[in-house]
Structure 1
Amino acid sequence: METMEGAELCFQQLLNTSCRKKTQHYAENIFLNILLSCISLFTVALNLLVIISISHFRQLHTPTNLLLLSLAVSDLLVGLLLMPVLILRIGGCWFLGSFICGLYYYTSFILTSASVGNMVLISVDRYVAICDPLCYPTRVTQKRVKICVCLCWACSVFYNGVILIDFLKEPDRYNSCYGECVVVINSVTGAADVMLTFVGPIVVIIVLYMRVFVVAVSQARAMRSHIAIVKLQGSAGVTAKKSERKAARTLGVVVVVFLICFCPYFYPSLAGQDISTSVEFSIFGVWLLYCNSCLNPVVYAFFYPWFRRSIKLIVTLQILQPDSCDANVL
C-alpha cells in the first residue's frame, strides 16, 4: 500500500502495510463518540428492563412475552457487544485483531438473523391469537414457544456459520491493509441470503399482519353491531379481544420500525451488489440496523402499561421485596 509522507496511519510503525485513518474533525469525532455511546447505553438499559420485567413478574409469563424476551435478549447483546465495537471503528481503524474481527461479524450476523426469526414468531403468535382465539391456549403453549425460540437461535448460529465459514477460517482474507476488518459476501450468496433471512420472512410477516388487520376490523364491526348482546353477556370477552387487538397493533408498530431499520442494511443485496461491510457502509446501514434494538423497548414503554409499571417497581427497588414477583402489573 502506498502512503504519503506525514499521512496519519492506524499503525505508524507499519509504513508500507498500515491502513490510513479516516480524516475527521476532532469535534465531530467527540460528538459521534458521545452520541453513539449514549445509544449503546440506552439500548442495554432499556432491554435489560424488559428482560427483568418479563423474567421477574409472574403475570408476564405468557407465550407472547417469552417471544418479546427472546427479542430483548438479542437487542441487549447488540447494545452490549456490537455497538461498543462499532464505536471503536469511527476512525476507520481496527485494533482488535483478526480473531475478534471474525467473531464480531459472526455475532452480528447471528443476532440479525435471530431478530428476524423472533419477528416471524411474534407475527405467527398474533395471527393465531386474533384469527383463531379459541384454539390459541392449546396451540400456543409456553413449552412450544420455548422450543421455537431455541430452534430460532440454533438455526441462526448454524446458518450463519455456513455462510461465513470461509471468512471465519481466514478473517483477514478481504483486508487490503493492516488495521482493516472487512467481510465481503458475493452477489450470488448475498442474494440467496437476503431471500432467506429478509425477503421471505418479511413477506410472511406482512401477509400475517394483513390477515390480522382484516380480522380485527371485522371483529370491531361485529362488536359495534351487537353491543346490546355484549352488555347482556358481560364485558370480559370484549376486554380480552380488545387486549389482543391492542397487542397486535403494538407489535405491528414494532414490525414497521423493524422494516425501516433493516431495509437499508439489505439494500446492496436487493440491488444485486456485493455486500461489503466496510466503515463507510457501517456509518448508515449498520448503525440504523443496530438502532432498531434501542427502539423496540421504547415502543413497549409507549404502548404497554405493564412495562411502565414494571419499570417503576424496578427503579424504586420494590422488586427486592418478598413476593414482589406476584405484584399486579397488568
Structure 2
Amino acid sequence: MSSSPGIKSREHVDMMYISIESAIALASVVGNVLVVLVVCANRALRNTTFCFIVSLAVADIAVGVLVIPLAIIISLGFNTHFYTCLFLSCLLLIITQGSILSLLAIAIDRYLRVKIPTKYSIVVTQGRAYVAVCLCWILSFLSGLVPMVGWNNHDFQGNISSSSEIICEFTAVIRMDYMVYFNFFGWVVVPLTIMITLYAEIFRVIRRQLNKRAEATCDGERYYRKELRLAKSLALVVFLFAVCWLPIHVMNCINFFCPQCHIPKIVMYVGIFMSHVNSALNPMVYAFRIKQFQVTLVQILRRCMLCKATQPTPCPTSMPALTEKADVNL
C-alpha cells in the first residue's frame, strides 16, 4: 500500500529539518571549539572578557552536541516515560538559557569596560568573572529545572502511572504558560531589554568620548575607527539575538493565547533552528572580529590542515600593554 501524499510531505519536512539542524550543530561545535582553542593558545586573550566568551562558547558547544540532537529526537516523537521526556526537555532549556545569560554577562562586561575604563580592572577581577560565570549557570539550572518540580503537563496527561509511556514531544510535557510567562517574559524579554539598554548607553558614551578625543588628540580618527567597529559589533549582537530567538517565542505565545490558531509545522521548525543558529553565529560576532584571535586561528588552522609549525604567539613581558591591545582591537 502506498503512503498518502500528506505523510510523504511531513516526512520530507522532517528530513529537511534534521538536515538543517545537523548542519547548524556542526557549525556551532566547530566554531566554538576553535574559540576555546584560540583562547587557550593565546595568553593575551586570557582576560575577564574572554572568561565570559569562553562560557558562551561552552554553552554553544553544548547546544550543538546536546540541544540540537535532543530537539531532533523530541520532534520525531518517540515513546518514553513522562519524566524522562520532561528531563530531556529541561536539559534543552538549561543549556539554551546558559547561552542567553552568557550573552547578558558579556553585555554587562562591555558596558563596564566603556563606562568605567579606569576602574574596570579593579571592579572586574578574574575571580569575580569566575563567580559571574558560575552564577549564570546556577541560574540556568534553577530556571530550566522548574518544570521538574511541578510546573509541567503531568496532570493534563490523564491517569498515567510511573510506568506508563507517552509520545515524547516538547509541548506534551512542558506547559505553555511556563514557556510564555516564565521562560519568555522572565528569561528572554528581560535580558534582551537589559542588553538593549546597556548597548544604547554604550553607544552614547562612545559617541561622547569619540567627539572629545577627536578634538583633543591627533590620532582621534584612528581611535574613532576602532570604537566604531566595536559599536557595530554590539549592534549586531543585539540584532542577531532578537532575530534568532524571538520567532519561536512569538509562536509559543500564539499557541498559548490563541489555541485555535494553527501554525504550520515547517514554520515551527524554522523558528526552532533560528534559535539554534545563534550558537553558530556567536563565534563570528564575538571572537572572529578580534585581530589577535584571527592571527592565532590562522596559526592553528595551518598547523592542523597544512601540517605547518605555528609561529609562537607574541607575548611581551608587559602584560598590561598586551591586554590593553587585545581590548582595543575588540
**TM-score per shorter chain, which class?**
0.7 to 0.9
Q: Distance in 2 between matches of 1:66 and 1:22?
A: 48
- Secondary structure of 2:168's counterpart equals coil
Deviates more, 1:205-214 or 1:163-172: 163-172
Q: CA deviation at 1:68?
A: 0.9
Please say if 1:294 is aligned against 2:284. Answer: no
Q: CA deviation at 1:268?
A: 4.5
Structure 2 segments unaligned to the other structure (5+ residues): 317-321
Structure-1 residue corresponding to 2:48: 63
Structure-1 residue corresponding to 2:238: 255
Summarize the alignment of residues 159-198 of structure 1 with structure 2, pairs less than 5 Å apart: 159-166=143-150, 173=157, 178-181=166-169, 182-187=172-177, 190-198=180-188
Structure-2 residue corresponding to 1:135: 119
TM-score normalised per structure 1: 0.76
Which structure has the highest helix share of the two?
A: 2
1:124-165 deviation line (CA, Å, top 9, x unaligned): 111111121111111111111110110110111122222442
Summarize the alignment of residues 137-156 of structure 1 with structure 2, pairs less than 5 Å apart: 137-156=121-140
Selected match of 1:41 from 19, 26, 36: 26
- Secondary structure of 1:317's counterpart equals helix
Q: Is the 8 A contact 1:106 1:161 kept in 2?
A: yes
Q: CA deviation at 1:265?
A: 2.3
Structure-2 residue corresponding to 1:223: 213
1:295-324 deviation line (CA, Å, top 9, x unaligned): 111334652323322222222337997995
1:218-242 deviation line (CA, Å, top 9, x unaligned): 11212222234x68xxx9xx75x86
Structure-2 residue corresponding to 1:306: 292
Q: Distance in 1 between matches of 2:271 and 2:37?
A: 30
Q: Distance in 1 between matches of 2:254 and 2:10?
A: 33
Q: Distance in 1 between matches of 2:24 and 2:97?
A: 21
Selected match of 2:99 from 115, 122, 145: 115
Structure-2 residue corresponding to 1:85: 70
* AA aligned opposite 2:284: V
1:83-119 deviation line (CA, Å, top 9, x unaligned): 12333456x3325665552232111111222222112
Q: Distance in 2 between matches of 1:115 and 1:136?
A: 24
Mark the CA change 1:132 to 1:44 in structure 2 (over 3 Å): closer, same or farther.
same
Summarize the alignment of residues 203-214 of structure 1 with structure 2, pairs less than 5 Å apart: 203-214=193-204
Q: Is the 8 A contact 1:131 1:212 kept in 2?
A: yes
Mark the CA change 1:202 to 1:33 in structure 2 (over 3 Å): closer, same or farther.
closer
Q: Distance in 2 between matches of 1:98 and 1:74?
A: 26
1:227-265 deviation line (CA, Å, top 9, x unaligned): 34x68xxx9xx75x8656644542431222011111112
Q: Is the 8 A contact 1:120 1:205 kept in 2?
A: yes
Mark the CA change 1:97 to 1:321 in structure 2 (over 3 Å): closer, same or farther.
farther
* AA aligned opposite 1:131: K
* AA aligned opposite 1:42: A
Q: Is the 8 A contact 2:114 2:206 kept in 1?
A: yes
Q: Distance in 2 between matches of 1:261 and 1:66?
A: 24
Q: Distance in 2 between matches of 1:86 and 1:189?
A: 16
Structure-2 residue corresponding to 1:15: none
Deviates more, 1:193-202 or 1:71-80: 193-202
Deviates more, 1:285-294 or 1:69-78: 285-294
Q: Is the 8 A contact 1:130 1:244 kept in 2?
A: no
Q: Is the 8 A contact 1:185 1:275 kept in 2?
A: no
- Secondary structure of 1:316's counterpart equals helix
- Secondary structure of 2:256's counterpart equals coil
Q: Is the 8 A contact 2:80 2:168 kept in 1?
A: no
- Secondary structure of 1:147's counterpart equals helix
- Secondary structure of 2:77's counterpart equals coil
Q: Is the 8 A contact 1:124 1:208 kept in 2?
A: yes
Q: Is the 8 A contact 2:82 2:166 kept in 1?
A: no
* AA aligned opposite 1:303: R
Q: Distance in 1 between matches of 2:312 and 2:125?
A: 25
* AA aligned opposite 1:253: L
- Name the Cα RMSD after superposition: 4.0
